[in-house]
Amino acid sequence: MAKNEKIPTASEIKDGKVVETVKSSSEQSTESTNINVTRGKYDSITLYEITDYELDTLKKGSPTSIYLNFSIFLLSTAISFLITLITGSYQSTSIEFVIFTIICVVGFVVGIILLILWFRNKSDMGDLCDKIENRILK
């Protein structure tokens, strides 16, 4: 780069065209380092005030996704063990039969409970956001 070569130092849009302001290197070194900020103007900005509890809830997210994940895992496991119980040949007093039956029953019961919890609580996060949005009168 030549010693006094002009380089663009600021750009802005005027009347739909980009206008660049250029200064030589020597002019730049003697000038203070002011930062030119260009921003697009909004017609209006809406600010929502929230409580600490609401902020913490939004940060943590909804715990219902964990309910759904464990429910799917437990129900899948229970179905697998049920198929094994149906297709296998076990004596009703064998230890494998008892363990598979316990895993199958516990998997179905806990999986269904978690699925119900997920279904009942899945809209909590949406309800909180709706509550915050409804504070502003329309």
- How does DSSP assign 104-136, residue by residue? HHHHHHHHHHHHHHHHHHTTHHHHHHHHHHTTS
- Predicted confidence band of residue 104 (pLDDT cuts 50, 70, 90): very high
Instruction: With beta carbons less than 8 A apart as the criterion, state whether 80 and 116 touch.
Output: no
Is the pLDDT assigned to residue 105 strictly greater than 90? yes
pLDDT tens digit sequence for 20-38? 777 665 555 555 567 777 7
pTM, two decimal places:
0.55
Residues in the chain: 138
What is the domain partition of the chain in residue ranges?
Answer: 63-121
Burial class of residue 128 in the structure, from the number of CB atoms within 10 Å of its CB (0-12 exposed, 13-18 middle, 19+ buried)? middle
